[in-house]
Amino acid sequence: MPKTILTEELIKQAIELAKPSVESILSQGIGVWGPKYVSVVVSGPGIEGNLDFTLGFRSEWDPKWGPKEDFLEIARQKDSVSNRTGMPTDVVVTRKPWLLEEGDFLYQGGTAGRPGGLTVSVSGAMAQVDEGIADIVYGIVAMLCRLKVKGMQENGINRLETAQ
């Protein structure tokens, strides 16, 4: 696999930086319909498959929340839609539903830069909160990638090469 700016370590750092904000949102019950945790899936160039994370406060499933949901599976599917279309799932579901394919959930909560680019998807809270959390993580990953490039340039590195 060719070297890329985006790495597993960079994504893990972004998740750690996002964690306090996400936990604050979930602990306050903002847009939470039941559980106070979310599954986060990140994919992009240089990352083999998806990176999966759980943020918030895991708890046993309460039957009053309804049938048990597999947030990780839903987040992975949202990731597939966003990665395939290069658009946030809210755009696909609400404004371009003709892009949906068999098996796609009609849920929002995934964000993407373009097909084959960085994609972050979240499941576990209300759609608007899932998307907000996806945007938080996406923004931090993008920031860290930009800072990595800036640091390389400041060190006289003007080309991404395997030896670096």
pLDDT band for 155, please (50, 70, 90 cuts).
very high
pTM for the model stands at 0.92
Average pLDDT over residues 118-124: 94
Which residues make beta-bridge pairs with 123? 39
Token pair of 56, please? 């918030």
Position 163 pLDDT exceeds 50:
no
φ and ψ of 142, to 5 deg: -60, -45
51, 13 contact by CB (below 8 A): no
Domain boundaries defined on the chain? 8-154
What pLDDT is attached to residue 1?
A: 55
pLDDT tens column, 87-109? 899 999 999 999 999 999 898 88
Q: What is the second-level CATH architecture of the domain 8-154? A: 2-Layer Sandwich (3.30)
Position 20 pLDDT exceeds 80:
yes
